[in-house]
Amino acid sequence: MSQSLIVAKFGGTSVADFDAMNRSADIVLSDANTRLVVLSASAGITNLLVSLAEGQELEQRAYLLDEIRTIQYAIIDRLQAPDVIRQEIDRMLENILMLAEAAALATSAALTDELVSHGELMSTLLFVEILRERQINAEWFDVRKVMRTSDRFGRAEPDVDTLQSLCAAQLAPRISEALVITQGFIGSESKGRTTTLGRGGSDYTAALLGEALHAARVDIWTDVAGIYTTDPRVVPTAKRIEEISFEEAAEMAIFGAKVLHPATLLPAVRSDIPVFVGSSKDPAAGGTRVCNETPNPPLFRALALRRKQTLLTLHSPNMLHAHGFLAEVFAILARHNISVDLVTTSEVNVALTLDTTGSTSSSDSLLTQALLTELSSLCRVEVEENLALVAIIGNNLSKACGVGKEVFGALEPFNLRMICYGASSYNLCFLVPTPDAEEVVRALHQNLFGA
């Protein structure tokens, strides 16, 4: 593939309506190297589809479908020749209705993925039409032909080798002939059933396709002009980071900075592909460059916030001077397919967090009764919900002096439920009650980054 290929991804707000789609089309057309475009569903559509997939009563189904139709028809109504595309979208809506009826009888993660995939299928159809009306040779491509994943519905993992060979055979030739528009977020497993990469997964799709096609850059166009020192919705005075390393940005994403899906930077790091993050509403405002190394990385780079954290505290007097307790606990968690997020231990207690965010299926809860029963046979188990994880992302944090004072000095009025520091030199993180979380971030941001 061309050495200068750019893969551009546009999120939900960037394809929310006719005007947003046209602004995004302007961005695509402003650089001839942009040959592959990855789109999310129009804003709001995925949430409506997830709701349908949860199984709804007849009236609610009709209401939700109507909401979806209204959003997509508002785009169709502004086209010069809307008839053919309206028929295509109507067929999609019929499919959605049929799948929603099935979900009302019995929900499943596989059915959810099939249903929600229609959001991206529709937005890409509409975007191609907008480009064609602008006389562009644009082609719709079903990403499921190349995005082979595991069958872990709701949070499927890509099979990178298969993706690579399918891209070389099927996608690369298309890109050399037309501007190709494809779907983020969705894929298919080996039997051909539709899967999804987890909420916000379109960023990950763009990076995976960029890697498979040896792109020179992946551009993530969203509703903020880059990556900021923290979520600008929480701290409006947050500052844009002009250049950030893969490691730092990956830590931010993993700890909840929604601007990038947590896995986005894996392919970028593997293949050293720079990522740009900018606002499709204001491309002239510039954005953030994410690359391998940045000059003079600061001690404190950013703050991230992840809500909906579950804390398990395990208490076992047998742990005193005993061997193997932690090994047993982790073996149980592994059998239940749970990866532990944070851990702290004392002589007879272990506290650990499970991150329950990210899956497309809202029913995909990590904390099952079977897990609790098995753990309870070993020790006393306490479960706390409604916690939020605040992470400070930085460089050489575990080697610097005075970090404790700077961080915790600002947090005097707050209850800190658990603190993790020292395992990684890139982060320091702690749990707070969710109602305090935004206040904590604001106080900390003021202290570390100023007003």
Q: Which stretch binds Mg ion (CB under 5 A): 111-119, 129-137, 192-200, 273-281?
A: 192-200
Q: How far apart are CA 159 and CA 360, in angstroms?
A: 19
Is residue 195 exposed (0-12), middle (13-18) or buried (19+ Cβ within 10 Å)?
buried
CB of 241 to ligand ADP, least distance (A): 8
Nearer to ligand ADP, 187 or 201 (CB): 201
Sheet of strand 380-394, all strands in order from the earlier edge strand to the far edge = 343-345, 349-355, 300-315, 380-394, 427-433, 418-421
Question: Is 187 marked within a binding site?
Answer: no
Taking residues 8 to 47 in sequence order and writing x for each that binds Mg ion by CB under 5 A, - otherwise, the string is: ---x------------------------------------
The answer to whether residue 11 forms part of the interface with ligand ASP (CB under 6 A) is yes
Q: How many CB atoms lie within 10 A of CB 33?
A: 14
The answer to whether residue 278 forms part of the interface with ligand ASP (CB under 6 A) is no
The answer to whether residue 154 forms part of the interface with ligand ASP (CB under 6 A) is no
Q: How many CB atoms lie within 10 A of CB 172?
A: 20
CB of 414 to ligand ADP, least distance (A): 20
- Distance between start and end Cα atoms, the chain: 46
CB of 202 to ligand ASP, least distance (A): 3
- Tell me which residue has tokens 């990855």: 38
The answer to whether residue 200 forms part of the interface with Mg ion (CB under 5 A) is yes
CB of 209 to ligand ASP, least distance (A): 13
The answer to whether residue 256 forms part of the interface with ligand ASP (CB under 6 A) is no
| Residues 268, 246 contacting (CB under 8 angstroms) | yes
The footprint of ligand ASP on residues 187-246 (CB under 6 A) is: 199-202
Q: How many residues bind ligand ASP (CB under 6 A)?
A: 12
The answer to whether residue 184 forms part of the interface with ligand ASP (CB under 6 A) is yes
Nearer to Mg ion, 11 or 55 (CB): 11
The answer to whether residue 123 forms part of the interface with ligand ADP (CB under 6 A) is no
The footprint of ligand ASP on residues 34-73 (CB under 6 A) is: 40-41, 46
Question: Is 11 marked within a binding site?
Answer: yes
Q: For residue 351, what are the β-bridge partners?
A: 313, 344
The answer to whether residue 200 forms part of the interface with ligand ADP (CB under 6 A) is yes
CB of 50 to ligand ASP, least distance (A): 8
Nearer to ligand ADP, 27 or 338 (CB): 27
Please state the φ and ψ torsions of residue 77, each to the nearest 5 degrees. -60, -20
The answer to whether residue 12 forms part of the interface with ligand ADP (CB under 6 A) is yes
Residue 194 CA: distances (Å) to CA of 112, 131, 359, 418? 9, 27, 15, 39
Nearer to ligand ASP, 11 or 262 (CB): 11
Question: Is 120 marked within a binding site?
Answer: yes
Taking residues 204 to 243 in sequence order and writing x for each that binds ligand ADP by CB under 6 A, - otherwise, the string is: ------------------xxx--xx-xxxx----------
The footprint of ligand ADP on residues 274-313 (CB under 6 A) is: 302
Q: Greatest CA span in the chain, whole angstroms?
A: 76
Residue of minimal Cβ distance to ligand ADP: 11
The answer to whether residue 262 forms part of the interface with ligand ASP (CB under 6 A) is no
User: Residue 304 is inside which H or E element, if any?
Assistant: strand 300-315
Question: Is 223 marked within a binding site?
Answer: yes
Please state the φ and ψ torsions of residue 115, each to the nearest 5 degrees. -65, -50
Sheet of strand 138-141, all strands in order from the earlier edge strand to the far edge = 138-141, 179-183, 34-39, 6-10, 217-222, 275-279, 287-291, 243-245
Taking residues 145 to 184 in sequence order and writing x for each that binds Mg ion by CB under 5 A, - otherwise, the string is: ----------------------------------------
The answer to whether residue 358 forms part of the interface with ligand ASP (CB under 6 A) is no
Q: Which does 228 bind (CB under 5 to 8 A by kind): ligand ASP, ligand ADP, Mg ion, none?
A: ligand ADP
Of 125, 259, 263, 371, the one binding ligand ADP (CB under 6 A) is 259
The answer to whether residue 264 forms part of the interface with ligand ADP (CB under 6 A) is no
Q: Which does 51 bind (CB under 5 to 8 A by kind): Mg ion, ligand ADP, ligand ASP, none?
A: none
Cα radius of gyration rounded to whole Å, the chain:
23
**Following DSSP, what letter does each residue of 10-78 receive, concatenated?**
E-GGGGSSHHHHHHHHHHHHT-TTEEEEEE-PPTTHHHHHHHHHT---HHHHHHHHHHHHHHHHHHHTT
E strands, 142-286, in order: 179-183, 186-188, 194-196, 217-222, 243-245, 275-279
What does the H/E/C string look like for 346-397?
Answer: CCCEEEEEEECCCCCCCCCCCCCHHHHHHHHCCCEEEEEEEEEEEEEEECCC
What does the H/E/C string look like for 92-144?
Answer: HHHHHHHHHHHHHHCCCHHHHHHHHHHHHHHHHHHHHHHHHHCCCCEEEECHH
Which residues sit at the interface with ligand ASP, rule CB under 6 A? Answer: 11-12, 40-41, 46, 119, 184-185, 199-202
Which segments are annotated as binding site for substrate? 46, 120
Which segments are annotated as binding site for ATP? 9-12, 222-223, 228, 233, 258-259
Which residues sit at the interface with Mg ion, rule CB under 5 A? Answer: 11, 200
